[in-house]
Amino acid sequence: VEMEALTAVSVALLTVYDMVKAVDRGMRIGGIALLSKEGGASGTWLRDSGESGE
């Protein structure tokens, strides 16, 4: 499920970029990161507070 969530966020940000590219073509999309995950075969996972996500 986390892969689908990351994909959805990326697509949403690309949609925003497409809408505002006439104003600023130099904008950047970044900092997309998984913060936590629960369930599944690997169980619960939390990002360490020191990780930047980039």
For residue 49, what pLDDT is reported?
82
Encode the chain (54 residues) as per-residue pLDDT tens digits. Answer: 899 999 999 999 999 999 999 999 899 999 999 999 998 888 999 999 876 655
Is residue 18 part of the annotated active site? The answer reads yes
Specify the amino acid at residue 2. Answer: E
Tokens of 5: 């969530």
Whole-angstrom CA distances from 8 to 13, 17, 46 are: 9, 14, 20
Does the pTM surpass 0.85? The reply is no
For residue 53, what pLDDT is reported?
55
For residue 54, what pLDDT is reported?
56
**Residue of 1, 3, 4, 18 marked catalytic:** 18
